[in-house]
Structure 1
Amino acid sequence: MRNVHQYGKEIAVGFLPVLVVFLIYTGFPGLPLILGLGLVGGLLFLASARGGTAIGTAARKRPAREPEPLSFDDIGGQERAKRELIEALEFLVRSEEAEKFGIRPLKGILLTGPPGTGKTLLAKAAAQYTRSVFLSASGSEFVEMYVGVGAGRIRELFREARRLAVKQKRDSAIIFIDEIDGIGGKRDGGQQREYDQTLNQLLTEMDGIQGNVKPRVLLIAATNRKELLDPALLRPGRFDRHIQVDLPDRTGREHILRLHARNKPISAEVSLAKIAEETFGFSGAQLESVMNEAAIYAMRDDSQQLGAEHFGKAIDKVLMGERMDRETTREERERVAIHELGHAIVAETVRPGSVAQVSLTPRGGALGYVRHHPDQDRYLYTKEALENQIMIALGGAVAEELHYGGRSTGSKGDFEQATNIVRTMIESGMSGLGIVHPQAVTVEQWSQENAVILGDLTERTRELLNRHADTFRRLFPILVKEETLSGDRLREQLRQADRSA
């Protein structure tokens, strides 16, 4: 229900135009002066309303209710990050014991890592673990063109956190700022007064946090670009703990999948451990999407359970994008089949058992693709492993050259991948240049070494595909007709070729 003040403003807005028309009609001599004063007053009113609303809105719109119950047990794939965070939160939970040992309470915890790894979930679980009031905001909410507005929002946010903690009779409050690089970026000494004032106010509020004053306030922030943050924000005494939240490993991915499978009817034939192996490099958000998309495919098929085929389609969709309705010509389909078979045969030869499926189904920006699944997670690579990856990337273009005498634009992404791996080899001291600093290498040296490595590996790829020309000829019509080829069928054909040889 609107109050009297709101009605008063509406009446004034409606009355003033009538008054002006009346004065014009009667020829009132002081009308210009009244119009001038009215204009100035209106501008001042709008400025004050804009500033006051902008300063107070961020805090007043914070949810006063409890966040949805979320414990650390509900978060999978981040065991190390959870241990580090719980250890830091113990100083807040066991504050009296910490005071006996003269331990300074933590003021800030910074969560860093790729998108979708669960940084926001960890912050919510931290509030549940410490029974704290939880307020959340995004770094972009404090950025304004008006000087002082962002700083005012920071003050209001901390003030609101303390007020809610007192109101709900809590000993502590947790403020979570996502994408803090929006307000905590490095200061360059320029004229960005609004950004500098907002960051300075955040630093001041963090310095003002006292461990012996209740309610205690803990700031948790998240970013995936830690290198952009100002050093004054990162120093001890402000963000005392920096916790890396990485992509989950195979065990973590399986844990995440089991968490999201609790409310879904999954067929007994489905192995979540196998799905975890096939989703190397997926974040927690992507794994949740795989589960959700598999359920959608099952519902579309009027199936009572989520089957292996549904998960296969879901992984393809999350990895490559939605299936497109693009109609390709027969010539394009045949060229794409040659291209993808080149990738698949090279991959299965240099890394046996790695191909999951070859498909001509257009997804995202690709007209076809080969889905791989690694035998195990790898984080360190030898020179041989990197060369094998380059050969797999070049397999498509080399296959087109052997069958058509030239390449197509479909190899553009493959070449980018290959050159990026060459860059890794050079920077890791695995090239003919030896151990060198990347900045000490000239453009000519870089181009020459890149050409040498790619030229040698292209020739090795050509020799490999020539050895499997018969397998190529047998698989090509099958893939063009059925549009998909399983990794098992590919391996069977390769084994037959080896036996006949």
Structure 2
Amino acid sequence: MLNKLWKELSIGTGVGVIVFLAYIGVVTLPVLFAAAVLALLVVAVRSRGNLATAHGGRRSGLKPSGSLSFEEIGGQERAKQELIEALDFLVNQEEIARLGIRPLKGILLTGPPGTGKTLLAKAAAAYTDSIYVAASGSEFVEMYVGVGAGRIRDLFKEARQKAQKSGKSSAVIFIDEIDVIGGKRDGGQHREYDQTLNQLLTEMDGIYTNESPRILLIAATNRKEMLDSALVRPGRFDRHIQVDLPDKKGRLHILSLHARNKPLHEEANLERIAEESFGFSGAQLESVMNEAAIYAMRDKREAIMQQHLSMAIDKVMMGEKTDREASREERERIALHELGHAIAAELVRPGSVSTVALSPRGQAMGYVRHNPEKDQYLYTKDFLEAQIMIALGGAAAEEIFYGGRSTGSRGDFDQAMGIVRTMVESGLTELGIIDGSMMTPDRWASISSTMLDQLMERTKAMLLKQRNVFLGSLDILLKEETLSGEGFRKLLHGQPDNALTPV
């Protein structure tokens, strides 16, 4: 209030002085010009002071955007522990200097897509209180010679400058999909991304010429085997950390993290969903929770029910339900095809079928959902052969009832061929221990045809004994479109038809 009054008095006094000078005959133009310049200088100085104050307040008062802690990342306890141990070399600089430890230059994160490699890099920057700069490998590949190498230089320069301006002692550079620029050099003609790789190697070698700021390079790839040996050697990427798909405990942790901002019904069982989502990545689990919330919104529910979570798993695995309508003949063929899968699964692995569905979803016109099993990472020959027989069950059922197959078995055959390849490369076939790269296409075709033909005959012989089960469950599946695993097992074991329970 006093400041405002003082301003008004000052302006009034100035105007009065100028009027008085003009009245007595003094030329006032120079005075007016000097007053205008003085006013502009005062405004500029005050504006600059306000701007500096605003910047200072933002620098000291607010948390940097995008910060992420390791506690907010689920399902990667071993990878987080390895990464934290490596980052401690950057944090505890006095300790590593006392012991004569060379600072780490790079950390390579490898693993399937969607497992959280980018999140780990962001958490690493927050853990070390470092500047975080990110880029993708594709950003450095250009058709013009020297552009990629120049961008590598600019990336490291930017990290150093940002660290110095922010008063940080270190910076973390994250390069995603580094195999794009770090692939093996074949010794052929000079290529643009060879220059880019050479520049990256040079930058990594020269990272610690200055003690501050220290720069740590974290890179991620799904194809570690494609990287050049000069890039992954010790002294450049000193730590190779495998970021695998989460186990059941990790999946439950991830689901719990993504459920924090979502209302769950008291009957919703995330542990059950963690069991059913074997093989899901962290990104897929996040999608499951998101899709479940969408289903709850469609049903106008206040909370996410267990059925919404189950539907979300089907959506992530196979896609959304479609409006495709098949003829009566096609629906019967599809029903028999899915029943072939279900019966084969129950015979080779009792209690495994959860639901048999005829509703189209994604590219599939029907599907069989299996009950969750314990996480398993080693497979025997008998187990893999059983998996192939389950995959061939649909085609075998079509041959039994129609005398031939349809194009609906294409995906099943792809799955079966993949299992055969796994068995060959694991030494579980009559070929014994063999290098898969030494196999010719004709040899692959021969061993695959032999194995699949033998297992197809075994599957058909097994299903031929279950014609009554096919016929007894076909009408209900056509009418209700879904059949529960419990009801299906009752019919399989010879109980009355009314024991069947549609889902």
User: What TM-score results when the alignment is normalised by the length of structure 1?
Assistant: 0.83
Between the aligned residues of both structures, percent identity stands at 67
Q: CA–CA distance in 1 between the matches of 2:177 and 2:436?
A: 31
Please provide the CA RMSD for this pair.
2.0
Q: Secondary structure at the match of 1:183?
A: helix
Number of the residue aligned with 1:361 = 359
Q: Are positions 1:86 and 2:84 aligned together?
A: yes
Alignment of 1:243-322 (within 5 A): 243-322=241-320
Match of 1:132 among 130, 133, 145: 130
- Contact 1:107 / 1:238 at 8 angstroms: preserved in 2? yes
The letter for the 2-side match of 1:259 is L
- Shift, 1:66, TM fit: 3.4
What is the number of residues matched between the two proteins? 436
User: What TM-score results when the alignment is normalised by the length of structure 2?
Assistant: 0.83
Number of the residue aligned with 1:160 = 158
Q: CA–CA distance in 1 between the matches of 2:409 and 2:441?
A: 24
Number of the residue aligned with 1:467 = 465
Match of 1:377 among 363, 372, 375: 375
Q: CA–CA distance in 1 between the matches of 2:162 and 2:82?
A: 27
- Shift, 1:264, TM fit: 0.8
- Shift, 1:440, TM fit: 5.3
Q: CA–CA distance in 2 between the matches of 1:198 and 1:319?
A: 38
- Contact 1:66 / 1:133 at 8 angstroms: preserved in 2? no
Q: CA–CA distance in 2 between the matches of 1:461 and 1:488?
A: 23
- Contact 1:179 / 1:224 at 8 angstroms: preserved in 2? yes
Q: Secondary structure at the match of 1:116?
A: coil
Alignment of 1:27-38 (within 5 A): none
Q: CA–CA distance in 2 between the matches of 1:219 and 1:344?
A: 50
- Shift, 1:200, TM fit: 1.1
Number of the residue aligned with 1:198 = 196
Q: Secondary structure at the match of 1:357?
A: strand
Q: CA–CA distance in 1 between the matches of 2:73 and 2:238?
A: 23
Alignment of 1:431-450 (within 5 A): 431-438=429-436, 446-450=444-448
Q: CA–CA distance in 2 between the matches of 1:388 and 1:462?
A: 13
The letter for the 1-side match of 2:267 is E
Number of the residue aligned with 1:216 = 214
Number of the residue aligned with 1:487 = 485
Q: CA–CA distance in 1 between the matches of 2:370 and 2:209?
A: 52
- Shift, 1:427, TM fit: 2.8
Number of the residue aligned with 1:26 = none
- Shift, 1:254, TM fit: 0.8
The letter for the 2-side match of 1:236 is P
- Contact 1:383 / 1:430 at 8 angstroms: preserved in 2? yes
Q: Secondary structure at the match of 2:182?
A: coil
Name which one, 1 or 2, has greater alpha-carbon Rg: 2
- Structure 1 spans left out of the alignment, 5+ residues: 1-64
Seen in structure 2, the aligned counterparts of structure 1 residues 162 and 446 have a Cα distance that, compared at 3 Å, is closer
Q: Secondary structure at the match of 2:104?
A: coil
- Structure 2 spans left out of the alignment, 5+ residues: 1-62
Q: CA–CA distance in 2 between the matches of 1:489 and 1:169?
A: 67
Q: CA–CA distance in 2 between the matches of 1:138 and 1:426?
A: 36
Number of the residue aligned with 1:118 = 116
Seen in structure 2, the aligned counterparts of structure 1 residues 292 and 192 have a Cα distance that, compared at 3 Å, is farther
Seen in structure 2, the aligned counterparts of structure 1 residues 498 and 189 have a Cα distance that, compared at 3 Å, is farther
- Shift, 1:474, TM fit: 1.5
Seen in structure 2, the aligned counterparts of structure 1 residues 237 and 435 have a Cα distance that, compared at 3 Å, is closer
Q: CA–CA distance in 1 between the matches of 2:496 and 2:421?
A: 35
Seen in structure 2, the aligned counterparts of structure 1 residues 201 and 390 have a Cα distance that, compared at 3 Å, is same
Seen in structure 2, the aligned counterparts of structure 1 residues 198 and 442 have a Cα distance that, compared at 3 Å, is closer
Q: Are positions 1:187 and 2:209 aligned together?
A: no
Q: CA–CA distance in 2 between the matches of 1:108 and 1:295?
A: 40
Q: CA–CA distance in 2 between the matches of 1:155 and 1:139?
A: 14
- Shift, 1:363, TM fit: 2.0
The letter for the 2-side match of 1:373 is N
Q: Secondary structure at the match of 2:139?
A: helix
Deviations 1:446-468 (A, max 9, x none): 44443332233222212221222
